[in-house]
Amino acid sequence: MIKLLTPDIKDYELIDTGGGEKLERFGRYVVRRPEPQAIWRKTLGEEQWRRADASFLRDTKSEERGEWRLKPEMPSRWMVRYQHKDMRLNMRLALTSFKHVGIFPEQAANWDFIYDTVEELRAAGIERPRVLNLFAYTGGATLAARAAGADTTHVDSVKQVVTWARENMESSGLEGVRWIVEDALKFVQREVRRGNRYHGIILDPPAYGRGANGEKWVLEDNICEMLECCANLLERENAFLVLNLYSMGLSSMLARTAVHQTFGAPQTEQMGELYFCDKGGKQIPFGTYYRFRR
């Protein structure tokens, strides 16, 4: 069954969307940036949008890069917090040239699932479940697994992003994450050869990317091999998988079909879209998810 998920995150608010943009609050600060899926009209007037503390201006020569226009009181870095049960995460935000700020707030719905599942695995007698987070970015899912008591491995090809994730771990009062700066596909290929196993695997692949040594990642070309490797790494029972897809046009049903082909039918599964609703009542999806337990 397809299910829509929206997390309850106090330090985030989707204020308005439309005209190819979104207006968001992260903690104390309001950010204006592009959003291609916001194909409808804005609810608020331009005067209110111009009050944003930071606005992203796209470079006319690039579809991805740009620069930020900041109000005088806008800092270059700030913190947001997220809480679920006994998990308390502190995440540093910053304004990057790719319009990102260091957190995808919709993923908090998956952080809850990861935290709860690791807790359940520990209650079932697995003292330190082993969790692998691939394409792990600034580590929200990594920290959720670690906060629940998992032995956690974090893999990302960008050294600066891994350093950012480590800072988030320290700010959250956690320790003991295994940090790997490497191409994710190369890493899992080596783990298969080593015969290693994990109780949980989190996959958050981009549509396109580059590995630490220039390896090329194209989602449609490489996802099947990645899933096959992960199927060899995941424990046959007492295990879970989380797969996120951000490419427009790739549905959770496609994710489910690809996962079933490589992992087989799970014990339980969930799939759908991660979304937020702005203050004008407009719902906008920020990615599809598929996750299972066995």
Collect the ranges in the chain with pLDDT lower than 70.
60-63, 247-249
pLDDT of residue 58: 83
> What is the Cα–Cα distance from 87 to 36, expressed in whole angstroms?
33
| Mean of the per-residue pLDDT values of the chain | 95
pLDDT of residue 214: 87
Type of residue found at 160: Q
Q: What is the pLDDT of residues 127-152, one digit of tens each?
A: 999 999 999 999 999 999 999 999 99
Q: Domains of the chain (ranges plus CATH)?
A: 104-293 (3.40.50.150)
pLDDT of residue 62: 66
Q: Is 99 left (phi over 0), alpha (psi -120 to 50) or beta?
A: left
Pairing of strands 29-34, 66-70: unpaired
pLDDT of residue 248: 60
The pTM for the full model equals 0.96
> What is the Cα–Cα distance from 145 to 139, expressed in whole angstroms?
10
Long-range contacts of 93-101 (CB under 8 A, 24+ apart): 93/26, 93/27, 94/164, 95/31, 95/54, 95/56, 95/68, 95/70, 97/65, 97/66, 97/67, 98/64, 98/65, 99/33, 99/34, 99/56, 99/58, 99/64, 99/66, 101/26, 101/31
Q: Is 212 helix (H, G, I), strand (E, B) or coil?
A: coil
